[in-house]
Amino acid sequence: SEINSYVHHRPDGSYYWYIGAHSTLPPYYNYKWAILHLVQSIELLLKESLYRINPDLLFYKPGKPRSVDLAEAAKRLRREAPQALIDSEIDTIGRALSIRNQVQHYAFSFSEKQCEAVVKDLIAFLRRYCQREFSIDVVNYFGFDSRREDYRDFVDDVFQRFARAKSDISETERQY
């Protein structure tokens, strides 16, 4: 099945997503959120690596509160610790940024298989990076079979955790 998503602008300046002809979000729409959260995870992990080298590397200008974005974090990390990222990982980050920008800011159209492949690539990157840089196996940490390369159970569990968190947030908002 195809995922078609379009950003629409309301007269009040806010935005909303139009999802094809669905009146409710299809289950594969979770891929949008998985991609956004996984790319954000990559950014935060690279920033942690920069912080461990030198906290000033987190900011465009020392003493200014604007932190670097993912592309700049990868560039700085590559310069400061060349062994931290290999060429294929730089390529993965570049693809992730491109896809993240399409998902977040523009209309996008991906097949469910394409979205699943992107999510698997991002999880594989995160797993390798966390093992190498922080000695943590994120897949084993959550109790999944590390011999499986498709990460299907892991992806399903991540989606369920996102859904529960979203539900918990909605419940908290209703209370206030």
Query: Which pLDDT tens digit goes with each residue over 82-114?
Result: 999 998 888 888 888 888 888 777 666 667 777
Asked if pLDDT for residue 131 goes beyond 60, the answer is yes
Highest mean pLDDT of the ranges 9-23, 79-93, 117-131 = 79-93
Q: Considering only residues 125 and 175, tell me which one the structure prediction assigns the higher pLDDT.
A: 125
Highest mean pLDDT among 26-40, 74-88, 93-107, 135-149: 74-88
Q: Which residues of 10-45 are buried (b: 16+ CB within 10 A; e: fewer)?
A: eeeeeeeeeeeeeeeeeebbbbbebbeebbebbbeb
Give the mean model confidence (pLDDT) for residues 34-54: 91
Spatial distance between the Cα atoms of 43 and 24, rounded to a whole number of angstroms: 31
Mean pLDDT, rounded, for 47-53: 95
- Alpha-carbon distance 93 to 74, whole Å? 8
Tokens of 135: 């000695």
Name the amino acid, one letter, at 138.
V
DSSP tag of 137: -
- Beta carbons within 8 Å of 9's beta carbon, 6+ residues apart: 15
C-alpha–C-alpha distance, residues 51 and 108, integer Å: 34
pLDDT band at residue 2, thresholds of 50, 70 and 90?
very low
Most confident of 25-39, 91-105, 125-139, 162-176: 125-139
The DSSP secondary structure of 92-135, one letter per residue, reads HHHHHHHHHHHHHHS-EEEEHHHHHHHHHHHHHHHHHHHHHHHS
Residue 54 or 152, more confident: 54
Work out the pLDDT band at 81, boundaries 50, 70, 90.
very high
Q: 155 pLDDT band (50/70/90 cuts)?
A: low
pLDDT at 49 over 70: yes
At residue 52, does pLDDT exceed 90?
A: yes
Please choose, from the candidates 83, 103, 106, the residue with its C-alpha nearest in 3D space to the C-alpha of residue 32.
103
